[in-house]
Every structure is written in C-alpha cells, then in structure tokens.
C-alpha cells in the first residue's frame, strides 16, 4: 500500500519559558499561602512539561514559607492502589528527586458531603494539608458535554476523591454528569481546602500554550471560559468521513479513553449519540503505550487490534477503570490480528484500499498518512500540505514503521 504524508498546520503557541510562566501567573494571583504542608495534585495524563510545571509550583510555594508535597490524584487509575498511582506519576517524570518534594500517595479519603448519587470525598493527605494547589489541563471530556468538562473541577472531584468520588460521579446518568460535576465541585470548594488552581492549556501540537492561575472560589465560574479557549487549540482530523483509521498507539497518556472520542467520533456510551464528525467505518489500534501501564480503557472503541496490544493489557487495571466509569463496552476486546501487517492486510481484503488514514495517536495530529484518493481534497484544505510522492507502507517483523 502506498501512502502520502500529510502535514497539518495546527494552532501553535508554545510558551518560551514554562517555569517562568508558572511563577508569573502565581505571582499575579498572589493567593495567601499558609505555613505548613500544601498539596499539589498530579494526574495520570501525559501533559507536556508536567515535571517543569509541578517543580515550578513547588519552588513558588517554598519561597512563601510553605512545605509543598505531591499527591497522585487520578481517581481509580492504575489499579486504584497507592503504589500504582505513585508509579504512574513517577513514569511521567514526577519523582521526589526531580521535584525536590515528597510524594504522599494513599487511597484513604475523608467524606466531605453527600449528593444525590452518593458521597463526595477528598484524599486524606489533601484534607489534612493546610491547602491544595490544584493543577490540571483543561480539555474536552470524552464522555459528556457541558460548560465544564475535564480540568480543575474534575481534578478536584474525581482525581482528589480517588475511587470513592469517581464512583459517585460515574453513577450519575451521562446527560446529568455536567451538572453533577459542578455540584460535587462546589462541595470541594466549600471544604475550604483549595488554595488555588493552575489551569494548563495546550496548543494543537500538544505544547504548553497558556497557564492560568485561578482563585479557589472562581474555579467553577472561570472554567467555561478556559474550555472555550481550549476549543481554539483542539486538533481534529481534517476530514469528515473515513473508510479506515489506523491509530498507531492508544493509552491513558493520550486520552482518558485511550483514543479521544472527540477526535474519532465514537463515544462508546450507551444511550448517548456519537460525535457528529468524523464518521469512520473501521478503526484499528496497533499498540498500547507503555506509559499507560496496562490500562487499556477505550480499547473497545476500536474494531481491530493486534496481539501485541492485547498482550499488553492489564485486565485488572482496565476492568477497574471501566467498572468505575460504568461504560463496559469501552473495555471489550475487538477482533485481534497477529501483528500490524496481518491486521492491515485483513482490513484491506474486506474493506478495500481507499479512504485510509494513519495517525500516531489522537493527541498528536500534525503528521498523518493517507491513501491517494484523499490527497486531492486534503490539498485544498487550508491546514494541510500533502507530499508530492508516496511512501511504501513498510513493516519490520510485522510492525508498522510509519511513526517509528
């Protein structure tokens, strides 16, 4: 199969000095920093420059007399164990040595309040601290739509609440999740434990574009504005319809569902319509990112996977994450082929050789490969440039070499 490389010009605005931007934003907000322990939240996503951002937050707090420490805040992820969640943030480069701060990991929580779907909890270390600096990326959510989606509020509710609050939140019917997130978020704000938030906006190339320090009482009201700013950066596929999409790598580091549902157009949520675009007939996933540590939630959004991806799945971690969200179809195992080459040959034989696109993952969409029939419309696309000569779809030991 011959493919043409496509370069997609995305909205790029990388910050020149991320650490300096963190300091400047916290200086601008200038929250009253208490003496004593202050927690800094770290989730399970592969956020660009995350170690730099967390280290800069810690240094800023130290300069104001606080004793900062790091709390893994990721709901039920990585097996819902303290050890697993600590290992997860360490795999992202957030280690005690590099951050010059201790990590305090626990699944113990304190109940804050009750809502209609259950109770709201907070990590015990966060609750016992003098304050919490909530750090997270603002992003579209993969399950629901609303004025507040994935960001500071979700970090407070699901991340800091560990598996207990995650279960409360995901027990809510999907259409009401946007309202429950705000209700639970207000409970956390009312605890008085939140010092401030630091919101991260990434550009279309996954670089840190903006940082916004937000006062605790303004988090719920500021997030809709920040989410709208995120929409200006959010990368999408430059087509409305595809026959076949091949995703080289999936995993939690790219999206909460392994593949971003807003990119692939499939939510995998019972009773909720899929995203209107793009419409994709067949989706294939080739590997699970090592940084996902076996959590393959979202694998059920694919139609085909490889044996190597299937072998990389930690069924217990994946089941626990899927069970917490309640969307069991996202954990189903698709048709499995021996390797990348046999998978692609199988799909070609059944679905033809036109309308194919290959992407590295759903987070990085600046470099794509397409079949010849898609070249002409993409040459007319304002964001795209298409190579004049094709390349062969090459394999080594059955593994696709496009993005290696």
Question: For residue range 55-89, what is the model confidence (pLDDT) as tens digits?
Answer: 999 999 999 999 999 999 988 777 778 999 999 99
Q: Backbone phi, then psi, for 213, in 5-degree steps? A: -85, 130
Per the listing, tokens 């600590």 go with: 86
| CA 260 vs CA 54, 246, 302: distances in Å | 25, 14, 12
Domains and CATH numbers, the chain: 18-233 (3.40.50.11440), 236-400 (no CATH)
Residue 250's closest CA among 302, 205, 206? 302
What confidence score (pLDDT) does residue 146 get?
83
Query: 224-252: per-residue pLDDT in tens?
Result: 999 999 999 999 999 999 999 999 999 98
Q: How far apart are CA 344 and CA 246, in angstroms?
A: 9
Contacts of 43 (CB under 8 A, 6+ apart): 72, 73, 74, 136, 155, 159
pLDDT truncated to tens, each residue of the chain (404 aa)? 999 999 999 999 999 999 999 999 999 999 999 999 999 999 987 799 999 999 999 999 999 999 999 999 988 777 778 999 999 999 999 999 999 999 999 999 999 999 998 999 999 999 999 999 999 999 988 777 788 888 999 999 999 999 999 999 988 887 888 999 999 999 999 999 999 999 999 999 989 999 999 999 999 999 999 999 999 999 999 999 999 999 999 998 888 889 999 899 987 666 555 556 799 999 999 999 998 889 999 999 999 999 999 999 999 999 988 887 777 888 899 999 999 999 999 999 999 999 999 999 998 999 999 999 999 999 999 999 999 999 999 999 999 999 97
Radius of gyration of the chain (CA): 21
Instruction: Please provide the distance, in angstroms rounded to a whole number, between the alpha carbons at the two ends of the chain.
Output: 18
Query: 156-175: per-residue pLDDT in tens?
Result: 999 999 999 999 998 888 78
What confidence score (pLDDT) does residue 14 get?
96
Q: How far apart are CA 119 and CA 127, in angstroms?
A: 15
What confidence score (pLDDT) does residue 240 get?
94
């Amino acid at each position: 199969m011959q493919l043409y490389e496509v370069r997609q010009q995305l909205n790029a605005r990388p910050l020149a000095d991320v650490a300096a931007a963190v300091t400047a934003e916290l200086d601008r907000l200038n929250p009253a920093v208490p003496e004593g322990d202050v927690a800094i939240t770290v989730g399970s996503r592969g956020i660009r420059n995350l170690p730099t951002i967390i280290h800069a937050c810690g240094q800023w707090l130290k300069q104001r007399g606080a004793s900062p420490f790091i709390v893994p805040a990721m709901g039920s992820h990585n097996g819902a164990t303290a050890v697993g969640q600590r290992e997860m943030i360490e795999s992202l480069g957030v280690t005690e040595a590099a951050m010059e701060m201790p990590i305090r990991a626990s699944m113990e929580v304190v109940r804050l309040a009750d809502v209609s779907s259950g109770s709201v909890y907070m990590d015990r270390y966060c609750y016992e601290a003098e304050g919490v600096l909530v750090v997270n990326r603002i992003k579209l959510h993969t399950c629901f739509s609303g004025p507040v989606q994935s960001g500071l509020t979700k970090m407070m509710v699901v991340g800091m609440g560990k598996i207990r609050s995650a279960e409360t939140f995901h027990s809510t019917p999907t259409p009401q999740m946007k309202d429950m997130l705000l209700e639970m978020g207000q409970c956390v704000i009312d605890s008085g434990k939140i010092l401030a938030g630091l919101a991260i906006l990434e550009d279309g190339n996954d670089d840190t574009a903006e940082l916004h320090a937000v006062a605790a009482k303004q988090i719920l009201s500021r997030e809709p504005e920040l989410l709208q700013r995120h929409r200006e950066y959010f990368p999408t596929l430059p087509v409305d319809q595809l026959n076949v999409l091949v995703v080289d790598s999936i995993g939690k580091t790219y999206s909460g569902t392994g593949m971003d549902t807003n990119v692939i157009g499939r939510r995998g949520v019972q009773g909720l319509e899929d995203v209107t675009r793009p419409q994709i007939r067949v989706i294939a996933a080739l590997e699970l990112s090592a940084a996902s540590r076996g959590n393959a939630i979202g694998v059920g959004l694919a139609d085909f996977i490889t044996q190597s991806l299937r072998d990389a799945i930690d069924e217990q971690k994946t089941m626990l994450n899927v069970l917490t969200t309640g969307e069991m179809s996202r954990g189903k195992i698709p048709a499995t082929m021996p390797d990348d080459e046999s998978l692609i040959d199988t799909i070609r034989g059944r679905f033809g050789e036109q309308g194919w696109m290959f992407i590295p993952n759903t987070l990085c969409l600046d470099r794509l490969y397409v079949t010849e029939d898609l070249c002409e419309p993409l040459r007319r696309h304002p964001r795209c440039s298409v190579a004049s000569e094709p390349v062969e779809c090459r394999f080594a030991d059955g593994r696709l070499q496009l993005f290696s």
